[in-house]
Every structure is written in structure tokens, then in C-alpha cells.
Amino acid sequence: MEPKSTASYKTVRGLTRGLEILNALNREPVGASPKRISELTGIHRTTARRLLETLMSEGYVRRSPSDDTYRLTIKVRELSEGFRDEHWISAIAAPLLAELLTEVIWPTDLSTLDVDAMVVRETTHRFSRLSFHRSMVGRRLPLLQTATGLAYIAFCPDKERDELLSLLATRKDLEGEIARDPKLLQNLILRTQRKGFGENFMNWNKEERIASIAVPIRSGETVIACLNLVYIAEAMSIDVAAERYLPAMNRVKEKIEDALALET
């Protein structure tokens, strides 16, 4: 004879539906509209939108500024077991970035993709005496205007790149303009692939004083992060920065990749 359930309360329907929506968004990597969520879950579209807005207010979901689609945020990963899937950032990458700082002096950042932008996850800005930004963790970097973003978009798998560019093309800002310009876009991607690193020399209008170079960090064929070095543009050209600092950056990148390979 099976034991009777010890539950003394009825299921909270709103919570159940909220979890259904989180699961549905997890299966839609480029986001989904309330209509699409309704189709995936069977929840009425009005209810789906209300639940999405609730999840957004709690920080688990964000809405695209260019269309009516919703996507999961990094905060959702806090719901997994001890944030294990990002443990490598603090356990592996952070010590290596600190080691890199002693060699290159200029600040470096490690960023990962968050829907349609790169988000800084670890940095040495707060330790570098040459840093001009102390608060960098959590900062969003555009994919087509920064060294970090270009390193990601140029070296990620073709299918992922096509999906990202299609998403960016719907935006009504400079990112969208670039994504809708095939010739400019092709030149940016091919140049980055040919050089082997992303670059930005005062091209991002939010940071006109700075320049940066960035390399992708891979796990198999997947780009899981990018490592960049930031410096004051008047100090040197991109070519000089690449000659001086890329060898050290690539050594750290390879150490991270090797350590991750051992964990899998």
C-alpha cells in the first residue's frame, strides 16, 4: 500500500504557470512573444503577458526594447544548483585574469552572451592602476560595436550567428542599422576572422576615449565567453596593442579552455 500524500495545501496555479513560462523561454533561445508563449504552454495570452511582466519585475525575464519578445536573464541561473554552470568563471577564469593583470597592466574583462549583448562577468578594472572604470561587472556591451561583441559574433557557430544577426536586425538603433547593412556586416566579420581577434578603436560612441582587443574562449565549437583588454586609445594603435598583448591574452584563453576541457 502506497503512502498517502502529506501535502496539506492545494497547488498554487500562478506559480505553476510561472514555471511553465520559464521552461518555455528556456526552449526559445532567441526569445518569444506572449503569443508564442501562449502557444507553447496553453496559457491564455493575457495571462501569459501578466506572468511575464511579473517575472520581469523580479529580474528573471527581460523584454527586448525593439520588439515584443521576452528572454531569460542571467538571474535564472541562480535557480540551478549553486550556480554550477558558471562556477568556472570564479574558479578558473578569475585567478587567471589576476595573473594576466601583472603582465599586461591594462584592465581586462571576461564577458558572456546575454540574449543580444555581451555582459561583463569578471574584470580586473578594480585592480588595475590604469583603469578608468571601476564598476564593470554587469555592464552590457553591444555585439557589433565593441571588440568583445565582434569576437563573439565572428567566431560563434554559423547557425548561432545567423540567429543573432536576425535578432539584431529588428532593432531600431545603431546595432540594427549595422545588422541590416550586408556589406558593412560582412566586412566587420571577415576582418575579425582574418585577424583572429575583435577590435574597437573609439568606434563605440559611449566610450570614445578607449580602444580594446578581444579573443573568443571556446568549449568545443561553442564560444562560451570573450576576453578583452581595454586601454586609452591615444596610448597606442590596435596593431601595437595586438603585438604587445595578444600573446599573453591567448595564453590565458588557452589555459581557461584547457581547464574547462578537464572538467567535462
CB 46 within 8 A of CB 82: no
From the list 10, 249, 190, 77, the residue with the least C-alpha distance to 241 is: 249
Are residue 248 and residue 156 in the same domain, yes or no? yes
Are residue 86 and residue 154 in the same domain, yes or no? yes
CB 77 within 8 A of CB 59: no
Question: Tens digits of per-residue pLDDT, 235-256?
Answer: 999 999 999 999 999 999 999 9
- pLDDT at position 138, please? 78
Q: Evaluate whether residue 6 is within a structural domain.
A: no
- Candidate from 51-60, 177-186, 236-245 with smallest mean pLDDT: 51-60
Are residue 35 and residue 86 in the same domain, yes or no? no
Are residue 50 and residue 105 in the same domain, yes or no? no
Residue positions counted in the chain: 264
- pLDDT at position 263, please? 67
CB 136 within 8 A of CB 125: yes
Is the pLDDT higher at 26 or at 147? 147
Q: Which of 46, 79, 112 is the last residue of a domain?
A: 79
Domain with 17 in it: what CATH number? 1.10.10.10
From the list 76, 44, 33, the residue with the least C-alpha distance to 58 is: 76
Q: How many CB atoms are closer than 10 A to CB 206? A: 9
Are residue 112 and residue 45 in the same domain, yes or no? no
The continuous run of DSSP H or E covering 50 comes out as: helix 45-57
Side by side, the strands of the sheet bearing 222-232 are 140-142, 117-123, 108-114, 222-232, 210-219, 198-201
Are residue 51 and residue 181 in the same domain, yes or no? no
Question: Tens digits of per-residue pLDDT, 156-168?
Answer: 999 999 999 999 9
Strands 140-142 and 198-201: unpaired
Model confidence at 85, pLDDT cuts 50, 70, 90, reads very low
Q: Evaluate whether residue 7 is within a structural domain.
A: no
CB 51 within 8 A of CB 17: yes
Model confidence at 178, pLDDT cuts 50, 70, 90, reads very high
CB 167 within 8 A of CB 233: no
Q: Evaluate whether residue 184 is within a structural domain.
A: yes
Q: Which of 58, 79, 100 is the last residue of a domain?
A: 79
Residue range(s) defining the domain that contains residue 52: 13-79
Are residue 46 and residue 85 in the same domain, yes or no? no
Distance CA 61, CA 25 (A): 9
- pLDDT at position 144, please? 95
Model confidence pTM above 0.85: no
Phi-psi group of 4: left, alpha or beta (phi > 0 → left; psi -120 to 50 → alpha; rest → beta): beta
What would the mean pLDDT of 190-215 be, rounded to a whole number?
Answer: 88
Q: Evaluate whether residue 3 is within a structural domain.
A: no
Name the CA dihedral angle for 193, 196, 197, 198, rounded to a multiple of 10 degrees.
-10
- pLDDT at position 83, please? 40
Q: Residue 203 corresponds to which cell in the numbers above? A: 568606434
Q: Which of 79, 105, 131 is the last residue of a domain?
A: 79
**Residue 17 main-chain phi, psi, to 5 deg:** -65, -35
The continuous run of DSSP H or E covering 63 comes out as: strand 61-63
**DSSP3 helix / strand / coil % (the chain, rounded to 5):** 50, 20, 30
Are residue 102 and residue 211 in the same domain, yes or no? yes
From the list 23, 64, 61, the residue with the least C-alpha distance to 40 is: 23
- Candidate from 37-41, 81-85, 131-135, 151-155 with smallest mean pLDDT: 81-85
Angle at 153 between CA 186 and CA 226, to 5 degrees: 140
Rg (CA), the chain: 21
